[in-house]
Structure 1
């Protein structure tokens, strides 16, 4: 086989390994050291050229390929381990196992070459048979795991898109309803409180400042509300400028304290918006709070009670919370 063909084939193998790991890193949104990889590929091309045209040595030519592949697979493992992959953790772990198996395979290949008389890739020697069969199996498994990982991530992202409100990044009405009803049906708390709130005079904010400022106000209020909640609490955008907060194991006294804490936090936080004067705008919220113990009411009934409380809060001047306790 001409030396040029050997050089090109080895460079293609090296490049394919690099691109595989590059693709994994990009998929995981990992910062890729481009110049590092470019430098490494350049060194690898020089080494291959050296062991073909200057010192034609099959053993060291293959050892250099093994070193490249092992390092590349190690980088792939690092990308997976250091990335946030909670949405597709199972398939990512499977891919990491395949990459680790690939590293072991390359190392075994190097050990087998030490005492082997192999001088050509086409020879039917044990090292060649082992490496080509192993690479075929590992390549198939790696591609399968990557495809499954892509599919799992796409499903997770579509599921999140279907559940989340794009503007506030909170649960939308449908997802909020399903989650609360699931809790009430499967594992209902001993006592719960529900808060229905909306932003006071929100229409005037849109009319006076524009809908872009109105969107900023919605986002900032959502951020404030979410930052004040406990891990087991739920919050969703109920519609327009309305938000629904579900507080499991929250008594009437606790709900009173928490609702007024939310109200004061929103009222005391100015929303910055970019304009000619770089201005700030303050807003307030009105809240209807319902507490039930024991839980013998449906979600619709609780929301209706909270809605009556919200209506009363607005009728009494806004920027306040009204409370309803039902049994």
Structure 2
């Protein structure tokens, strides 16, 4: 087989495969790599030029091994760093395990290059000995590891999506009642351990039945969807917004006093009153809606959440009974 195939093209293809793995993980995990990509392309040019030079101009097996070892180290380190920055939706464990395998492989290539730099000149690569023959095993380990990790990441991502889908209300894409129960239990334990207040806001759209009767259920669904977006956008990262039933929503507020919860409820009330809800039916018609709010804070560590929800429901009913479009506290 001519050297252009067995040396130049073969080694260039090995390097290119590392780059494609790097590019593939970048797109799969949604991690941009502009600098790494340019560095890899430069490395590819160096690899091709080095293979050509040390094959046809100055035949040097040791130099070719050092070039391939150093570029492999660079690519494996870049892949490892990308995996450590990867999207957590694919699971930290799978990315960390693969990152470790890449670093161990990079260590082998670094050791190989270092030993070759101190060794006598090799006449023919196939007679290079055990250290260099092991490179085939390392490549096979990497191929199997990449394949297995992709399956692991995909499975983890699908499991996460299924859990998330099961915990979300299909219309509004906020938490459903079942997910709310789990969140409450988790927040309740955390609140007791840290001895911090825990509050809840319940809101109900005013005259929602009239809206449905006058504009149709599709318009009602649009209003619910946009209301859920407004609530999610105007609450904090640790707050939990859930659809409690029909046009009722509840917001769980960890580490929040009653006064803070009242201020947040009032801000949301004003935000909703000022909002224009377009109907997405091709017309310029827009709706103005209002909502009534109830606020309650767990009064003591021994109070269960069933009682808190009863009190916040009573506060909401009071807001609706005394004029609507207002905030009442339990």
Q: Return the TM-score normalized by structure 2.
A: 0.77
Corresponding residue for 2:204?
Answer: 198
Corresponding residue for 1:178?
Answer: 182
- Confirm or deny: 8 A CA contact 1:286 1:318 kept in the other structure: yes
Q: Give the number of aligned pairs.
A: 324
Q: Give me the whole-angstrom Cα distance separating, in 2, the residues matched to 1:31 and 1:191.
A: 41
Task: State whether structure 2 residue 270 is matched by structure 1 residue 260.
Answer: no
Task: State whether structure 2 residue 92 is matched by structure 1 residue 89.
Answer: yes
Q: Give me the whole-angstrom Cα distance separating, in 2, the residues matched to 1:309 and 1:186.
A: 25
Deviation of residue 174 (structure 1)?
1.0
Deviation of residue 185 (structure 1)?
6.0
Q: Give me the whole-angstrom Cα distance separating, in 1, the residues matched to 2:218 and 2:67.
A: 58
The secondary structure found in structure 1 opposite 2:127 is: coil
The secondary structure found in structure 2 opposite 1:293 is: coil
- Confirm or deny: 8 A CA contact 1:192 1:295 kept in the other structure: no
Alignment of structure 1 residues 132-281 onto 2, 5 Å: 132-137=136-141, 139-165=143-169, 168-184=172-188, 188=192, 192-205=198-211, 214=220, 217-230=223-236, 232-248=238-254, 250-271=256-277, 281=287
Q: Return the TM-score normalized by structure 1.
A: 0.78
Q: Give me the whole-angstrom Cα distance separating, in 1, the residues matched to 2:26 and 2:237.
A: 31
Deviation of residue 311 (structure 1)?
3.4
* Long gaps (5+) in structure 1: none
Alignment of structure 1 residues 9-20 onto 2, 5 Å: 9-20=10-21
Deviation of residue 267 (structure 1)?
1.7
Deviations 1:149-174, CA, capped at 9 Å, x for gaps? 44333333332232234554432221
Question: Which stretch has the larger CA shift, 33-42 or 143-152?
Answer: 33-42
Q: Give me the whole-angstrom Cα distance separating, in 2, the residues matched to 1:320 and 1:190.
A: 27
Q: Give me the whole-angstrom Cα distance separating, in 1, the residues matched to 2:13 and 2:187.
A: 55
Change (3 A) 1:238 1:82: same
- Confirm or deny: 8 A CA contact 1:199 1:285 kept in the other structure: yes
* Long gaps (5+) in structure 2: none
